[in-house]
Amino acid sequence: MMYSILILAVLLLLLAVNGITRFAFRQITQMKLQTFESIFDYLEGSGVFTRERFNTLNKREVTITSKDGLKLSGYIVEPHPGVNKWVIIVHGYTVSLHVSTQYIDMFEQEGFNLLLIDQRRHGNSQGTYTTYGYYEKYDVQCWVNWLLEQYGDDCVIGLHGQSLGGGTVLEYLAIADPHVKFVVADCPYSDLTRLMRHQISVLNKLPSFPLLPLVNRRMERVAGFRMEQVSPLKAVEKSRIPVLFVHGTRDNYVPTYMSEELYERKPEPKRLLLVEGAVHANAYGVNPARYAEEVHALIQDALEENVHPAAASHVQESRHSAAYS
């Protein structure tokens, strides 16, 4: 009798662990996506963009095919026709390109045209799993190539990514095209394994062991990647592309220290903006003026270096403590 009870208890435990593992895997790679209405409720509540402006925005939908055959969708917003400066805006987890509209005015004032993209599995793009930059960095590569094909190889391109998008654009640094001249990484994660350990143990109060290894094994088997294969820390350590790291001081979803350690790891040129009181992914809403000021400085330095690389390097070294502290 005791033996049967023991066997039953073990089976129930295994079923529970398997169920929790499957649930965690879905939450990490296939969480329910937010709707157009919920995204604009947030944007309007933050005062950064409205659905009325989006509906009347002069925009054009474009599609490309990813390296693994998925249809990827985006919108072209071209306030400066004929100008060769472009920025690609990459959104975060469970949202869509609509959340990226909040940055249109900022980059338009800098003289840039914009490409807002839907990440794989989000918005109008195809895909089954989110891989945190493992496959998405190649999607960014495809978009960069598309811009160069459509608008000429004299294009100057910048990248802006928020949350998942921030991790994605940093992962892209490992394969970056020389036409990409700057990157803004807003609330990015520094390492996927450590992020998931934080979210499992700190936010969800579950033991990271054995859950994390079990989820990781399922990721590799079902989604085709492992957590340890995604580490923006490794991607930034050899990159000389100027990067602005942005993070809210009250972000507990992706801890603030992750941007700080990315900043410490990356070689110059680099900038770090910590927005006091901002939680996850709302740094721009909390302090748009300071945000835009730092983006402006990043772009000015990047374009100055692009035009006069030797002179810019000398100026950059002379003002290091003022510009990048």
pLDDT of 104: 98
Please report whether residue 25 resides in a domain: no
Residue of 242, 291, 245, 250 whose CA lies nearest to 272: 245
Q: Please report, for the domain that includes residue 50, its CATH number.
A: 3.40.50.1820
| Residue 201 in domain | no
Count structural domains, the chain.
Answer: 1
In a domain, 239, yes or no: yes
Kindly give the confidence (pLDDT) of every residue in the chain, 325 residues in length, as a single tens digit, with 9 standing for 90 and above: 676 666 756 555 556 668 889 999 999 999 999 999 999 999 999 999 999 999 999 999 999 999 999 999 999 999 999 999 999 999 999 999 999 999 999 999 999 999 999 999 999 999 999 999 999 999 999 999 999 999 999 999 999 999 999 999 999 999 999 999 999 999 999 999 999 999 999 988 888 889 999 999 999 999 999 999 999 999 999 999 999 999 999 999 999 999 999 999 999 999 999 999 999 999 999 999 999 999 999 999 999 877 654 444 433 433 333 333 3
- What length is written for the chain? 325
In a domain, 260, yes or no: yes
Asked whether residue 80 is domain-assigned, the answer is yes
What is the rounded distance in angstroms from the CA atom of residue 131 to the CA atom of residue 230?
Answer: 8
**Burial of residue 234 (number of CB atoms within 10 Å: 0-12, 13-18, 19+):** middle
The answer to whether position 223 is within a domain reads: no
Tell me if 189 sits within 8 A of 254, measured CB to CB: yes
Domain range enclosing 103: 31-191+230-323
Q: What dihedral do alpha carbons 114, 116, 117, 123 form, nearest 10°?
A: -160
Give ∠ CA 150-140-144 in degrees, rounded to 5.
25
Could you give the 3-state DSSP secondary structure of residue 134?
Answer: coil
Distance of alpha carbon 325 from alpha carbon 53, whole angstroms: 37
**Contact 284/102 with Cβ under 8 angstroms?**
yes
Q: How far apart are the C-alpha atoms of 323 and 47, rounded to whole Å?
A: 29
Q: Report if residue 23 sits inside a domain.
A: no
Can you tell me which residue has the tokens 């993209």? 117
Residue 77 lies in a domain: yes
d(CA 61, CA 4): 62
DSSP 75-107: EEE-SSTT--EEEEEE--TT--GGGGGGGHHHH
